[in-house]
A and B are shown apart, each in its own frame.
Chain A
Amino acid sequence: MAQWNRSGYFRSSGSRDVNPDLETERQTASFSVERLTAILDGGADNTRTRRAVEAVIHSEPGFSRENQYFQSQNERYEAAVRRSVYLKEKMHQMGWTEDGPEIKYCYRALGGDLAFNVHRVFKNSILALGTDEQIAKWIPLADKYHIIGTYAQTELGHGTFLRGLETTAIFDISTQEFTLNTPKISAMKWWPGDLGRSATHAVVFAQLYIKGKCYGLHAFILQIRSLRDHSPAPGVIVGDIGPKMNFEHIDNGYLMLQNINIPRENMLSRFSQVLPDGTYVKRGSDKINYLTMIMTRIHILWIEVIPTLLKACTIATRYSVVRRQSKLNPGDPEAKILDYQTQQQKLLPLLATAYAFHFMNAYVNEFYNKGYTEIRQENFDSLPELHALTAGIKAIITEYCTAGAEVCLRACGGHGYSALSGLPFLYTKLAASCTYEGENTVLFLQTARFLVKCLAAVHSGQPIPPSATYLSSVDSGKCQARTSVDFLKPDIYAEAYRHRATRLLGNAATKLQGLVQSGAEQHEAWNQCTVQLVQAAKAHCHYIVVKNFIDTVEKLRNEAEIQKIVKHLCDLFALHGIFSNTGDFLYAGYISGDQIDMVTASYLDLLAVIRNDAVPLVDAFDFTDESLNSALGSYDGHVYQRLYEWAQKSPTNKQVSQAYARYLKPLFQSALSKL
């Protein structure tokens, strides 16, 4: 245990005076951590660039997040604005560009604690939906932060269902203007980031009316605050929506519009235009706008969601080798809590999940880039698949990451509950991801709709999109494993996942068809099958992740040591999934009861194997202490000293509270005479 007289702790995190309990873990690594880091970064060059960027960011006190956990909503917001403006200057100074590789490393180093994320969406929407003149007018202003934009789509009463949005934009031929209105309280724009306090402009989605006829949703650009004194424009009611579970640094806002007139040129008009005489003209397909949505989804997964799980795993795993509790053998010192099977069962499958999701990056990007090229050439054939794939992948990744971070939090016992562990911050960030950028259940159902169509295509002999071709392969009907070792063969478990996905989809589709044939209306039949359809979509996504993990392991054939450990993680990910969903596999005897016992045996053996490399596996993520911002998870493992030091900085220990003088002192006085 750490002694009081232990010297050197209060050195900066750059020093490497490491807790011996962590040190021993690192000495026994079965592979080169540095090499794995390079693979995770997509090459050693990227690792170098990343570290250089991190070094720049961390050396500037202006970017420090040191007191983040002690700040109020107001202070968090102001600090985020300060960092963002400062980052802009820094990037300029360093010669880093908006589309260069450095920006994502800046974001990573700062843990995403920046403002103006929606400003970026504002720009992207103008780039996607604006005419060349509109782009030329607005983008340079936005690039220099001369204006700050937001993207106002979601309303108080409507989020997912876009057609239900109620904001109106009525074209007036006599003035050549649109009049924007919030006709009722539920139509107020609600949630857009950067809207509450920062934005001067907004891209607002509204139902377009010309001569009394509704033409559906369109995007309009309007000024909402004065550029002189930042006060709201006349007819604009705007503010912050109040405290949330997290994202307190972001000023999510509300916006109410009362007869705001904007010129005809302010409708974003690349795909549809209103002529001066009120004629509505449609040009080409605005399906490209889906691409913006898909891109945003992919972006948040790799910038916001997956790294957050990686961080949570890093913190919980490191803490679990520093924390000791009870004895495993009489006479021994107290055991590291990671040596308990139950702790391994909580954390190691998550570690495998973190790797599984990280490796999905390449797969999804390949799909996206292919689709992007085609769509730019106005070929929209791959759009449904791209859309369905990213919807399901977003849903499964955010669901698993959110649940995973929470497990990490609780796996750290009481200390995980302290804000200083960093885990509440990470968890509450992830908790939002299950509902933003598409509510997960809705997304799974979109994937399911696509799969049902694919299945119909299989039956009618039509071509099937690549991600669903497996639906047409022949099922062996029984799992071929004979021993528990057989379950370490990727073919065996991939086949099991394939079988499960095919079966669950088949069952749901059959049920759906049955209901329709027995006279139910299509929509009612669909609603009655949605629970099953969601299960089918999840099983499909699970299969895709397992399959991709297997392919990734294959590709590591020139890295023997790393391939070995990554293969263990792949096995663990796959077997944990079977172990946790035995019913899906036992059903109809695909896997027998004896085989389930084999799965369990292999799964538990893997926990013990991966246990030995657990710390090197999280070290390979290579997060700086500053970006982890955790008293429990630092590289040096001086958990307790740091917890104590940080607690002393808490404002509750500095500020004079009136509580004593006002309420406690009167109570205590009378004891003086008696004690």
Chain B
Amino acid sequence: MNEDLRRERDSASFNPELLTHILDGGAERTQRRKEIEALVLNDPDFQHEDLNFLSRSQRYEEAIRKSALMVVKLRKYGIADPDEIYWFKRCVHHGRAEPLDLHLGMFLPTLLTQATLEQQDRFFMPAWNLEIIGSYAQTEMGHGTHLRGLETTATYDPATQEFILNSPTVTSIKWWPGGLGKTSNHAIVLAQLYTQGQCKGLHAFIVPIRQLGTHEPLPGITVGDIGPKFGYDEMDNGYLKMDNFRIPRENMLMKYAKIEPDGTYVKPVSDKLTYGTMVFIRSIIVGDSARSLSKACTIAIRYSSVRHQSELKPGDPEPQILDYQTQQYKLFPLLATAYAFHFVGAYMKMTYYRITGDINEGDLSELPELHALTAGLKAFTSWIANAGIEECRMACGGHGYSRCSGLPDIYVTFTPCCTYEGENTVMMLQTARFLIKSYTQVCSGQLVSGMVSYLNDLSGQHIQPQQVAARPTAVHINDPASLVEAYKLRASRFVEVAAKNLQAELNRRKSREDAWNRTSVDLVRASEAHCHYVVVKLFTTQLSEINDAAVHAVMNNLCLLYALYGISKHTGDFLQAGILTDAQVTQVYQRVKELLAAIRPNAVALVDAFDFHDNCLASVLGRYDGNIYENMFEWAKKSPLNKTEVHEAFHKHLKPKQAKL
């Protein structure tokens, strides 16, 4: 092991394994995760060449191979628990998307939740056995977020008892669904249902798209890959265009809404259930934000311990770049953020399980709030992780830009979650809608509960700057609980400002939509402040559950850093609202720098606790043993440009020039 890294590890003040157990949710779970990972890591069937050197087609093919194998092996090992499947898959695909994602994650679950028993008989087992591979085709070229705008039509023809599917415009072509381009032979297609001359809105249909046996597109179906992307090289995101394509009536998913043979439409009962799925997916994205940022921090912090540069003191050997305050300032707040988001993800998942328990018992009362508030958390965490990964890359200087660092790959794999599953700004505005609704409720004298209960304190004029001017002594910058209060005040103020500005726009006799649009910058700000408060609160809550004193001490510092760094980046909010004084702001800046120095000795141990196996990290700079330079050279030698000693471009283009010498 590299000497610098060894020294870093030896001098840690706590045992990183204990922290790993906390992150995993218990020592047994850590052990089980490692067992599952070992099944993949020790299996020669899952070995392959470094993906960085393969073309897109090769990467797709490699992914298909592994996915098909994975399904077989999971069944062979009898792994059925969702977390365990997730661990296994993550290890097989290094956290990347793969062509069967939508089949496993959307097609099968949708069959289970929305198909009738008869439909399940027909489709589920073949799909389970991968005889049918399905995609989930919702997004169109011209519409993503605004579902009502989707243009694909399914017109019922009672004469033949069939639906006629059409893509009436260029913009209506299904575009982006994963696994659609090359892999799938079926798709669940979302289309506007027309029957008896009326549009009944969006419904889901099972559509065969490719011929079994030849895999050729069926007549009336145009299907293909949408071409190269920023990342997702393994995934065949696809397009699908349908021209008078007919499917039998029984192919509409009819567990809820129905079409009778004569074309009569029967309405569904409730659609709240879909909220549950969305909350679950968002909890995964928040977890993914934490995970991707943790990976990036692991790479950047290990590299910063191994890399030496310049001199701090004339005459001394070059210091580790992690000893520079500016480097600490880039990386440690991100490290704290990664931990914070991890706890948010865990909280969301737990809440989801608690509430879906309620669903089965019929109590859905908490769902709307959870649905509204998790939208903002998805946006908040993914935006920050997205920027954070890039900061980690840039903190590695030039070498971060090489794909051997693994950082470009982490970034391009992560960044689409800012726009998929609900574009982030739209998500923020959904949360804002709930916040405004709650505020209005409080104003009319009703109390609100849950994460927005702080709005109850807003009975009228509580947080006018003048009145809180006396408050500042109440904020203790070394007490996480006190900082939670500060964030709470900031959130209250922004919700109130947004609500009042919205009202002011409405008073100018604007339509609701227009007024809402003209207030949306304020509304997004209110949502962000709310989410920031939630994150600080959940991190602080987590502290009380840590029993080991050494771990508690270091996590307490991280939590303080997270909260204080956030204040230092938004001092204006706290100053303007009179939550903090100038003097306190100066103290906050100073305390942030002290915390950087306090965290410095434990930085490597803190990323070791994330416990990424080198194979999953896939980074030369982030290797556990820190032997980076030798391995960069080994890696480069495998580059496609080095396949021949003299590149053919020389013979074609340069040699003619040089012949004269």
Contact = CB atoms under 8 A, between A and B. Distances in A.
B561 to A, nearest CB: 13
Interface in B389-412: 390, 393-394, 397-398, 400-404, 408, 412
B228 A145 contact: no
A270 to B, nearest CB: 25
A340 B571 contact: no
Contacts of A496: none
Interface stretch (A120-128, A577-585, A614-622): A577-585
Nearest to A325: B146
B397 A439 contact: yes
Contacts of B213: 668-669, 672
A373 interface: no
A647 B403 contact: no
Interface string A398-425: 0000000010011001101111100010
A651 B419 contact: no
B406 to A, nearest CB: 11
A641 to B, nearest CB: 6
B105 interface: no
A160 B130 contact: no
Nearest to A185: B629
A232 B173 contact: no
A419 B229 contact: yes
Contacts of A78: 647-649, 652-653
A674 B126 CA distance: 8
Interface in A305-356: 323-330, 334, 339-343, 345-346
B288 interface: no
B657 A146 contact: yes
Residue of B215, B230, B310, B661 ringed by the most chain A CB atoms within 10 A: B230
A156 B325 CA distance: 23
A191 B639 contact: no
Contact of A342 (B330, B429, B635): B429
Contact of B57 (A69, A161, A523, A651): A651
A15 interface: no
A70 interface: yes
Nearest to B125: A674
B550 interface: no
B476 interface: no
B572 A581 contact: yes
Interface stretch (A94-102, A384-392, A479-487, A524-532): A524-532
B361 interface: no
Contact of B585 (A583, A652, A660): A583
B514 A671 contact: no
Contacts of B360: none
Interface string B178-213: 000111010000000000000000000000000011
Residue of B329, B633, B649, B660 ringed by the most chain A CB atoms within 10 A: B649
A278 interface: no
B404 to A, nearest CB: 6
Nearest to B400: A435
Contacts, number: 397
A414 B170 contact: no
A73 interface: yes
B68 interface: yes
Given A345-B521, A414-B144, A660-B182, A1 B654 contact: no
A417 B402 contact: no
Contacts of B513: 327-330
Interface in B616-641: 629-630, 632-633, 635-641
A164 interface: yes
A1 B151 contact: yes
B390 to A, nearest CB: 7
Interface residues of B, number: 136
A148 interface: yes
B113 interface: no
B309 A164 contact: yes
Contacts of B641: 73-74, 77, 196-197, 239-240, 242, 251
Contact of B64 (A239, A329, A659): A659
Contacts of A410: 415, 418-419, 424
B53 A243 contact: yes
Contact of A417 (B308, B330, B419, B657): B419
Interface string B152-188: 0000000000000000111101011000011101000
B227 A419 contact: yes
A137 interface: no
A664 B639 contact: no
B1 interface: no
B76 interface: no
A45 interface: no
Nearest to A229: B646
Given A161-B310, A418-B229, A644 B655 contact: no
Contact of A587 (B183, B401, B585): B585
Contacts of A472: none
B639 A414 contact: no
A664 B64 contact: yes
B258 interface: no
A133 interface: no
Given A159-B397, A667-B68, A326 B146 contact: yes
B425 A640 contact: no
Contacts of B227: 69-70, 418-420, 646-647, 649-650, 652-653
Residue of B64, B212, B654 ringed by the most chain A CB atoms within 10 A: B654
A523 B310 CA distance: 12
B636 A342 contact: no
A656 B577 CA distance: 63
A200 B585 contact: no
A346 B521 CA distance: 10
Interface string B565-578: 00000111111111
B133 A596 contact: no
B65 interface: yes
B129 interface: yes
Contacts of A441: 326-327, 330
A525 B529 CA distance: 35
Contacts of A440: 394
A98 B48 CA distance: 48
Contacts of A146: 657-658, 660-661
B481 interface: no
Contacts of B131: 667-671, 674
A675 interface: yes
B309 A160 contact: yes
B564 to A, nearest CB: 13
A658 B571 CA distance: 57
B521 A342 contact: yes
A339 B629 CA distance: 51
A534 B325 CA distance: 11
Contacts of A647: 224-227, 239
Contacts of A74: 640-641, 647
A586 interface: yes
A198 interface: yes
B653 A82 contact: yes
Q: Which 3 pairs, one residue from A and one from B, show the smallest C-beta to C-beta distance?
A: A582-B572, A583-B571, A671-B131
19 contacts: A74-B640, A78-B647, A82-B652, A85-B654, A156-B629, A164-B318, A185-B629, A198-B650, A241-B402, A245-B403, A414-B176, A440-B394, A528-B593, A586-B571, A587-B585, A646-B227, A647-B224, A652-B56, A662-B65
Given A240-B642, A668-B130, 11 more contacts: A85-B653, A239-B636, A242-B635, A243-B53, A245-B402, A326-B146, A410-B424, A416-B419, A653-B181, A665-B215, A671-B131
Interface of A: 1-4, 6, 69-70, 72-74, 77-78, 81-82, 85, 141, 144-148, 154, 156-161, 164, 185-186, 188, 190-191, 196-198, 200, 227, 229-232, 239-245, 251, 254, 323-330, 334, 339-343, 345-346, 406, 409-410, 413-414, 416-420, 424, 428, 431-432, 434-436, 439-441, 445, 521, 523-524, 527-532, 534, 581-589, 593, 596, 604, 640-641, 643-644, 646-653, 655, 657-660, 662-665, 667-672, 674-675
